[in-house]
Structure 1
Amino acid sequence: MHPDQATLSSGQRLALSAASFLLMATSIMALGPLIAGSGWWWLCAFVAAGVLFGGAGLRALRVRGGLVPVLEAVLLLMLLTLLFGASTSLLLLIPMPDTFALFGELITGAQRTIAQQSVPAVTVPALSFALALGVGVLSILLDVLVQVARRPAFAAVPVIVPLLIPGFIVESGIGLPIVVVVAASYLLLLRVDVRVNRRARIEQRRDDGIATVTAPLRVPVASTLGASLGVAAVGILAASMLAVSTPSISTSLLLGTGSQSTLFARGVSPFIDLGRDLRRPEARPAFRYLARDGDRPYFTLLTLDRFEGDVWSVADRPVDGDNTVDELGSPAGLGPDVATSEHPIDVLVNEVRTTWLPVPYPSTRIDGLQGSWFWDDESLTVRSADTNTAGQRYEVTRLAVEPTVEQLRSAGAAAAAAQVDARYLELPEEMPEIIGTTAANLAAGTGSSYDTAVAIQAYLRSPDFDYSTEAPVDGGYDGGGFEVIASFLEQKQGYCVHFASTMAVLAREAGIPSRISIGYTSGTPTTDRVDGVQRVQVDSHDLHAWPELYFSGVGWVPFEPTPGRGSVPEYSRPGAGQSPTSVLPTGPASTAVPTGRPDLDPDRGLAGQAGDPLSNSAPMQAGVLLLGVVLLLSIPAIVRALQRAGRRRRIIRGGAPADAAWQEFAATAIDLGIGVPAGTPRAVASAVAARPAFHEAEARAAMLRLRDAVERSRFGPDGAGRSDLEARAGLLRDLGAVRRAMLRDVTARDRAAATLLPRSLVERVARVPGVRAGGGA
Structure 2
Amino acid sequence: MRPDPIALSRGQRLALTAASFLLIAVATMALGPLISGSGWWWMCAFVAAGTLFGGAGLRSIRTPASLVPVLELVILVFLLTLLFGGATSIALIVPSNATFTEFGELLGGAERTIQQQSVPAIPVPALSFALALGVGLLAVCIDILVQTVRMPALAAAPALVPILIPGFIIEAGAEAPTLVLAAAAYLLMLRVDVRVRRRARIATGDEGDDAATVISPARVPIASTLGATLGLAGTGLVVAAVLAAATPSISTSLLLGTGSPGSIFGRGVSPFIDLGRDLRRPDPRPAFHYFSPDGERPYFTLLTLDRFEGAAWGVTEAQIDGDNTVDAMPEPDGLSSEVATEEHPIDVTIDQVRTTWLPVPYPTTRVDGLRGSWFWEDGSLTVRGVDADTSGQQYQASWLEIDPTPSQLRNADRRLPDELAPFLALPDDLPQVISDTAVQVVGSAATPYDAAVAIQAFLRSPDFEYSTEAPVDEGYDGGGFDVIAQFLETRAGYCVHFASTMAVMARESGIPARISVGYTQGSPSQERVGGVQRIEVDSHDLHAWPELYFEGVGWVPFEPTPGRGLVPDYSRPGAGQSGNEPVPQSGSAAPSASGRAAVDPGGGLGGTSGGLSATDSWWLRGGVVALLVAAVLLAPAALRAGQRASRYRRIMRGERPADAAWAELTSTARDLGVDVGIVDTPRAVASRVADREAFADADAEAALIALRDAVEHERYGPSGRPVAADLDLIGQLAVARDALAADERMVDRLRAVLVPRSLVDRAQSAFGERQSAGA
Question: How far does residue 112 in structure 1 lie from its aligned partner after superposition?
Answer: 3.1
CA offsets 1:34-69 (integer angstroms, 9 cap, x no match): 222222211111111111001111111111111111
Q: Distance in 1 between matches of 2:354 and 2:695?
A: 68
Q: Distance in 2 between matches of 1:69 and 1:773?
A: 29
Q: For 1:496-645, what aligned pairs fall within 5 Å after superposition?
A: 496-577=495-576, 587-595=586-594, 596-597=597-598, 599-600=600-601, 613=614, 620=620, 623-645=623-645
Name 2:191's counterpart in structure 1. Answer: 191
Answering whether residue 29 of structure 2 is matched by residue 29 of structure 1, we say: yes
Q: For 1:318-329, what aligned pairs fall within 5 Å after superposition?
A: 318-329=319-330
The 8 Å contact of residues 456 and 558 in structure 2, kept in 1 or not, is answered as yes
Name 2:266's counterpart in structure 1. Answer: 257
Q: Which amino acid aligns with 2:36?
A: A
Q: For 1:58-457, what aligned pairs fall within 5 Å after superposition?
A: 58-209=58-209, 210=211, 212-246=213-247, 247-248=250-251, 249=256, 255-261=264-270, 273-411=274-412, 415-416=416-417, 418-420=418-420, 422-457=421-456
The 8 Å contact of residues 439 and 506 in structure 1, kept in 2 or not, is answered as yes
The 8 Å contact of residues 306 and 312 in structure 1, kept in 2 or not, is answered as yes
The 8 Å contact of residues 494 and 561 in structure 2, kept in 1 or not, is answered as yes
Calculate the TM-score normalised by the size of structure 1: 0.90
The 8 Å contact of residues 69 and 144 in structure 1, kept in 2 or not, is answered as yes
Q: Distance in 2 between matches of 1:767 and 1:487?
A: 74
Name 1:267's counterpart in structure 2. Answer: none
Q: Which amino acid aligns with 1:257?
A: G
Question: How far does residue 227 in structure 1 lie from its aligned partner after superposition?
Answer: 2.1
The 8 Å contact of residues 145 and 151 in structure 1, kept in 2 or not, is answered as yes
Name 1:742's counterpart in structure 2. Answer: 740
Q: Which amino acid aligns with 1:65?
A: A
Question: How far does residue 219 in structure 1 lie from its aligned partner after superposition?
Answer: 1.4
Question: How far does residue 769 in structure 1 lie from its aligned partner after superposition?
Answer: 8.6
Q: Distance in 2 between matches of 1:629 and 1:146?
A: 19
Name 2:651's counterpart in structure 1. Answer: 651
Q: After the TM superposition, which of the residue ranges 549-558 and 424-433 deviates more from structure 2?
A: 424-433
Q: After the TM superposition, which of the residue ranges 324-333 and 551-560 deviates more from structure 2?
A: 551-560
Relative to 1, partners in 2 of residues 1:222 and 1:407: Cα closer, same or farther, differing over 3 Å? farther
Name 2:660's counterpart in structure 1. Answer: 660
Q: Secondary structure at the match of 1:762?
A: helix
Relative to 1, partners in 2 of residues 1:603 and 1:52: Cα closer, same or farther, differing over 3 Å? closer
Q: For 1:758-777, what aligned pairs fall within 5 Å after superposition?
A: 758-764=756-762, 766=765
The 8 Å contact of residues 271 and 605 in structure 1, kept in 2 or not, is answered as no
Name 2:464's counterpart in structure 1. Answer: 465
Answering whether residue 717 of structure 2 is matched by residue 708 of structure 1, we say: no
CA offsets 1:558-603 (integer angstroms, 9 cap, x no match): 2211111112222223333179x999x9842211122455744998
Question: How far does residue 337 in structure 1 lie from its aligned partner after superposition?
Answer: 3.7
Q: Distance in 1 between matches of 2:770 and 2:482?
A: 83
Name 2:696's counterpart in structure 1. Answer: 695
Q: After the TM superposition, which of the residue ranges 444-453 and 596-605 deviates more from structure 2?
A: 596-605
Question: How far does residue 541 in structure 1 lie from its aligned partner after superposition?
Answer: 0.8
Relative to 1, partners in 2 of residues 1:754 and 1:536: Cα closer, same or farther, differing over 3 Å? same
Question: How far does residue 115 in structure 1 lie from its aligned partner after superposition?
Answer: 3.2
Question: How far does residue 716 in structure 1 lie from its aligned partner after superposition?
Answer: 4.1
Q: Which amino acid aligns with 2:729?
A: L
Relative to 1, partners in 2 of residues 1:593 and 1:620: Cα closer, same or farther, differing over 3 Å? farther
Question: How far does residue 174 in structure 1 lie from its aligned partner after superposition?
Answer: 1.4
Relative to 1, partners in 2 of residues 1:67 and 1:651: Cα closer, same or farther, differing over 3 Å? same
CA offsets 1:183-232 (integer angstroms, 9 cap, x no match): 11111111110110111111111334245344333212222222222322
Q: Distance in 2 between matches of 1:664 and 1:419?
A: 72
Q: Distance in 2 between matches of 1:772 and 1:489?
A: 85
Relative to 1, partners in 2 of residues 1:517 and 1:716: Cα closer, same or farther, differing over 3 Å? same
Question: How far does residue 462 in structure 1 lie from its aligned partner after superposition?
Answer: 2.1
Q: Which amino acid aligns with 2:519?
A: Y
Relative to 1, partners in 2 of residues 1:500 and 1:82: Cα closer, same or farther, differing over 3 Å? same
Q: Distance in 1 between matches of 2:245 and 2:422?
A: 31
Relative to 1, partners in 2 of residues 1:582 and 1:274: Cα closer, same or farther, differing over 3 Å? farther
Unaligned runs of 5+ in 2: none
The 8 Å contact of residues 168 and 251 in structure 1, kept in 2 or not, is answered as no
The 8 Å contact of residues 521 and 537 in structure 2, kept in 1 or not, is answered as yes
The 8 Å contact of residues 283 and 594 in structure 1, kept in 2 or not, is answered as no
Q: After the TM superposition, which of the residue ranges 640-649 and 277-286 deviates more from structure 2?
A: 277-286
Name 1:264's counterpart in structure 2. Answer: none
Identity %: 59
Q: Which amino acid aligns with 1:335?
A: S
Q: Distance in 2 between matches of 1:340 and 1:359?
A: 17
The 8 Å contact of residues 52 and 139 in structure 1, kept in 2 or not, is answered as yes
Relative to 1, partners in 2 of residues 1:696 and 1:768: Cα closer, same or farther, differing over 3 Å? farther
The 8 Å contact of residues 10 and 60 in structure 1, kept in 2 or not, is answered as yes
Q: After the TM superposition, which of the residue ranges 707-716 and 356-365 deviates more from structure 2?
A: 707-716
Q: Which amino acid aligns with 2:21?
A: F
Q: After the TM superposition, which of the residue ranges 247-256 and 508-517 deviates more from structure 2?
A: 247-256
The 8 Å contact of residues 311 and 606 in structure 1, kept in 2 or not, is answered as no
Name 1:727's counterpart in structure 2. Answer: 725
Q: Secondary structure at the match of 1:316?
A: coil
The 8 Å contact of residues 269 and 614 in structure 2, kept in 1 or not, is answered as no
Q: Which amino acid aligns with 1:731?
A: L
Question: How far does residue 604 in structure 1 lie from its aligned partner after superposition?
Answer: 8.6
Unaligned runs of 5+ in 1: 262-269
Q: After the TM superposition, which of the residue ranges 565-574 and 710-719 deviates more from structure 2?
A: 710-719
Q: Distance in 2 between matches of 1:170 and 1:42?
A: 23
Relative to 1, partners in 2 of residues 1:668 and 1:214: Cα closer, same or farther, differing over 3 Å? closer
Q: Distance in 2 between matches of 1:96 and 1:255?
A: 33
Question: How far does residue 86 in structure 1 lie from its aligned partner after superposition?
Answer: 4.8
Name 1:266's counterpart in structure 2. Answer: none
Q: Which amino acid aligns with 2:514?
A: R
Question: How far does residue 254 in structure 1 lie from its aligned partner after superposition?
Answer: 7.8
Q: Secondary structure at the match of 1:351?
A: coil
Calculate the TM-score normalised by the size of structure 2: 0.90
Q: Secondary structure at the match of 1:260?
A: coil
Relative to 1, partners in 2 of residues 1:395 and 1:611: Cα closer, same or farther, differing over 3 Å? closer
Relative to 1, partners in 2 of residues 1:409 and 1:649: Cα closer, same or farther, differing over 3 Å? farther
Name 1:265's counterpart in structure 2. Answer: none
Q: Secondary structure at the match of 2:66?
A: helix
Question: How far does residue 415 in structure 1 lie from its aligned partner after superposition?
Answer: 1.8
Q: After the TM superposition, which of the residue ranges 407-416 and 41-50 deviates more from structure 2?
A: 407-416
Question: How far does residue 667 in structure 1 lie from its aligned partner after superposition?
Answer: 1.5
Q: Aligned Cα RMSD in Å? A: 3.2
CA offsets 1:433-456 (integer angstroms, 9 cap, x no match): 322333343444334333333332
Answering whether residue 682 of structure 2 is matched by residue 681 of structure 1, we say: yes
Q: Secondary structure at the match of 2:302?
A: strand
The 8 Å contact of residues 465 and 492 in structure 2, kept in 1 or not, is answered as yes
**Count of residues paired in the alignment:** 756
Q: Which amino acid aligns with 2:725?
A: A
